[in-house]
Structure 1
């Protein structure tokens, strides 16, 4: 009798697992051979298993537009065709919208990101630009102070740029006038190491662990204090949080107004808890997008002195006054735009778009239907490094994106523009991408203006890039760069 129970339990587990791993075959989809091997379990135990790399291998394993795969015990439909991925995510009418951004008002359901998109319009960003520059100056002053202590020096630029990114978020999303290069014990400084540890765990578990931690509650307290200052004491600050508070109080986030419309006494559209969750989500996304794109842009351009000289020549044309940039001139940095585009191609901040089907969806131009609750996955990293779309995909070639009429140089090739996805596709596109590009440009301009940067060629060969999920240099020294102060053209400070 006692022997029968383990046998029955084992049989039930075996049949259940077998049923899960036959999901795509039973529905007629092309699928990988499924199973959990002993070598797979060993890698998972040693945390050598890499989610993103495994998805890229699955993308390269065949020619079918769709492939059914399994992430542990989760059936996932991998889309291996760019046009099909764009069609699904742009025209699926809410079948694959991200649930965490759902917002219900009355009897209608909205995507909260779409409601908040006007926060990142050119008009709004131009008014926040002064604060962005101030944070950029904090980075430069911190590095100049280090140089004053003993001439040229080496620094882990990846870590410094992560602190810069957190400073941007603290000032514009959390409404804190703080410089984390000086306040090293602040919660958002400690969040840096915490977020890296969480990313490692999420990589191991394929992103299925709960996200809450003690930081969630501490960050919520920061939001609560800032919101109370604005709602109860009339504080006005031109930042993203001010616009979130306006939305919470039923005010428009577009237009010219920053102050709250106190005549509206209706129930708050967002609770403090929900507003804090929005802020924390923006914190995670912005930190990864800004820090990784900055880091890998510098990693690539510092290996190509000609690219650096082209960027400096373009920056030299900016009409700086007392070291301050003009917002409207940044859109004219065409070569820098191409460099950022190439970085986003080779190192997309979101290497995989993953969406859960909300209701059964018939896939375009096919006989297949994906069921409610099943996961759809678009491997951006693999697509951006596919030779059929980009020649020499592992080479850093900004001139891929040269448009007719540009005078930056001669176009090296014709890139299929519809293949480049960058900050996402359709409803999965990052609404804050213009904000991220602005913050990245300010840091690049100020670094290239103020320093000669030198990368050790030997270090480049040993650098390891991991995706957990955002790209990160995984090495003891991060991105070690030697910095030396440059003599600034006097016209910048006239």
Structure 2
């Protein structure tokens, strides 16, 4: 009798697992042959399983536009075609919106990303460019002080994480943050600890909420600054100012920066919710900004000709009172191509995941994806597919030159960059501005010297991060042509 009980339990577990792993087959979707191997389970247990690489393998093994796969016990529909993915995410009428940015006020549901979009328009970013350049100047001053101490080698990835943290602290939290000097600053934990979600968690338990240990300390900072701006009328031209305007129901698309104070009952967001939005912006932007700048420099350091072209383009810039103008950033075509090539080879979000809110028939197909099922677009695999990009593992910025794009219409439509459709990053103009400021500051002042024999490994956790033991060790040698220039002396 007692022997029947474990047999019954094992049978129920077996049937349950078999039911899950036959989901796509039962629904009629093309699907992979699913199996749980000891090798997979041992990798998952040791946290060595790399789910981004596994998704890329599934992409290359499939042949259909749609492929049903299983992320552990979670059925996921892999969309292997960019045009189909774009149609789904653009025309799904909210079926696949990211619920993290949902906000309900009364009986009306808001998508905060749509509300925040005017924050990143050109006229809003132009005043913020001054703050971004101040952060860049702090970075150059820090490097000059290292030169004076004879410290020529540094971990470039760590340097740029601090730069990105300073940018977000300055513009999102309203802090005059300089983590190059302030070793005990509250945001240092973000600079010193890359956001690395456990591989098992990101592969299986994506929906489990995680509270940052800094959440309540950051809430105090937000609460203090919101009170300053609402009650005392203090104006600082940054993102926090615009978040406070949004909280009070003000129009973000207007030219005004002052807050038109509303009574508490009419406010769109509580201070706690505003702090949540600020922390989401910090966490979502930090790795993307730092990794894109780092990997751009990593790639161009291996090709001196690219560095020369970028430095020649930078040399043509004209600084007004030591400041760059926003229009000049937009005119840097070759740097644009380099940033695009980095985003192609190392997309900051290698996988776009969306949960279906309500059963949805996919356009131009006979298939219907069910409620609460996950749809995934493998950007990394698509943008490294030689079907769309010749020699995809080579860094070739000129592939984005207009004449070159004529060789393949597919290449033009396949590059995603900052997302597609409803998954497109509303802050892409802000991202480009911050990335270009860092590149200009470093390439204007320094030559890059990289040890080609040093082992460098890029992993996706999920953002691309250099996971080598020493990070990205590089020597920055001051450019002689600028060592006595007015810019180098006066830009700090």
**TM class by smaller structure:** over 0.9
Cα deviation for residue 276 of structure 1 reads 1.2
Cα deviation for residue 472 of structure 1 reads 0.3
Structure 2: how far apart are the matches of 1:477 and 1:412?
41
Structure 1: how far apart are the matches of 2:486 and 2:352?
45
Cα deviation for residue 363 of structure 1 reads 1.1
Cα deviation for residue 206 of structure 1 reads 5.7
Cα deviation for residue 3 of structure 1 reads 3.1
Find the counterpart in structure 2 of residue 31 from structure 1.
31
Find the counterpart in structure 2 of residue 423 from structure 1.
418
1:465 correspondence with 2:458: yes
Which structure 2 residues correspond to residues 236-315 of structure 1 after superposition, within 5 A? 236-262=235-261, 266-315=265-314
Please identify, of 91-100 and 6-15, the stretch whose mean Cα deviation from structure 2 is larger. Answer: 6-15
SS of 2:266 mapped into structure 1: coil
CA 266–396 in structure 1, closer or farther in 2 if over 3 Å, else same: same
1:437 correspondence with 2:432: yes
Q: Number of residue pairs matched?
A: 486
CA 205–359 in structure 1, closer or farther in 2 if over 3 Å, else same: closer
Find the counterpart in structure 2 of residue 487 from structure 1.
480
Q: Which runs of 5+ in 2 are unaligned?
A: none
Please identify, of 270-279 and 197-206, the stretch whose mean Cα deviation from structure 2 is larger. Answer: 197-206
Cα deviation for residue 403 of structure 1 reads 2.1
Structure 1: how far apart are the matches of 2:234 and 2:290?
30
Find the counterpart in structure 2 of residue 407 from structure 1.
none
Structure 1: how far apart are the matches of 2:290 and 2:204?
24
Find the counterpart in structure 1 of residue 449 from structure 2.
454
SS of 2:447 mapped into structure 1: strand
Structure 1: how far apart are the matches of 2:427 and 2:463?
16
SS of 1:60 mapped into structure 2: helix
Contact 2:162–2:179 under 8 Å retained in 1: yes
Structure 2: how far apart are the matches of 1:257 and 1:382?
43
> Structure 1, residues 56-83: CA drift from partner, whole Å, max 9, x if none?
0000002111111000110000001111
Please identify, of 330-339 and 358-367, the stretch whose mean Cα deviation from structure 2 is larger. Answer: 358-367
Structure 1: how far apart are the matches of 2:311 and 2:406?
21
> Structure 1, residues 191-237: CA drift from partner, whole Å, max 9, x if none?
23444344566446563443213222222222112212212222211
Structure 2: how far apart are the matches of 1:399 and 1:241?
38
Find the counterpart in structure 1 of residue 110 from structure 2.
110
Contact 1:155–1:481 under 8 Å retained in 2: yes
SS of 1:196 mapped into structure 2: coil
> Structure 1, residues 237-293: CA drift from partner, whole Å, max 9, x if none?
100010000000111111211111136665221112211111111111110111010
1:94 correspondence with 2:87: no
Contact 2:196–2:462 under 8 Å retained in 1: no
Please identify, of 314-323 and 88-97, the stretch whose mean Cα deviation from structure 2 is larger. Answer: 314-323
How big is the alpha-carbon RMSD for the aligned residues of Structure 1 and Structure 2?
Answer: 1.9
CA 70–439 in structure 1, closer or farther in 2 if over 3 Å, else same: same
Q: Which runs of 5+ in 1 are unaligned?
A: 405-409
> Structure 1, residues 292-320: CA drift from partner, whole Å, max 9, x if none?
10010001111111100100110011002
1:394 correspondence with 2:393: yes
SS of 2:375 mapped into structure 1: strand
CA 412–364 in structure 1, closer or farther in 2 if over 3 Å, else same: closer
Cα deviation for residue 46 of structure 1 reads 1.9
Cα deviation for residue 121 of structure 1 reads 0.3
SS of 2:158 mapped into structure 1: helix
Contact 1:236–1:258 under 8 Å retained in 2: yes
Please identify, of 271-280 and 296-305, the stretch whose mean Cα deviation from structure 2 is larger. Answer: 271-280
SS of 1:68 mapped into structure 2: strand
Contact 1:399–1:412 under 8 Å retained in 2: no
Which structure 2 residues correspond to residues 75-154 of structure 1 after superposition, within 5 A? 75-150=75-150, 153-154=152-153
TM-score norm. by structure 1 comes to 0.94
Structure 1: how far apart are the matches of 2:220 and 2:387?
50
Structure 2: how far apart are the matches of 1:201 and 1:158?
25
Which structure 2 residues correspond to residues 48-87 of structure 1 after superposition, within 5 A? 48-87=48-87
Find the counterpart in structure 1 of residue 470 from structure 2.
477
Find the counterpart in structure 2 of residue 230 from structure 1.
229
Structure 1: how far apart are the matches of 2:467 and 2:406?
32
Structure 1: how far apart are the matches of 2:156 and 2:38?
40
CA 216–426 in structure 1, closer or farther in 2 if over 3 Å, else same: same
Structure 1: how far apart are the matches of 2:201 and 2:142?
32
Contact 2:248–2:262 under 8 Å retained in 1: no
> Structure 1, residues 34-75: CA drift from partner, whole Å, max 9, x if none?
121111111112222101000000000021111110001100
Structure 2: how far apart are the matches of 1:414 and 1:250?
46
Find the counterpart in structure 2 of residue 182 from structure 1.
181
Cα deviation for residue 190 of structure 1 reads 1.1
SS of 1:377 mapped into structure 2: strand
Find the counterpart in structure 2 of residue 2 from structure 1.
2
SS of 1:5 mapped into structure 2: helix
CA 244–413 in structure 1, closer or farther in 2 if over 3 Å, else same: same
> Structure 1, residues 137-182: CA drift from partner, whole Å, max 9, x if none?
11111111100112x7110000000000000000000111110111
Cα deviation for residue 491 of structure 1 reads 6.7
Find the counterpart in structure 2 of residue 14 from structure 1.
14
Contact 1:202–1:468 under 8 Å retained in 2: no
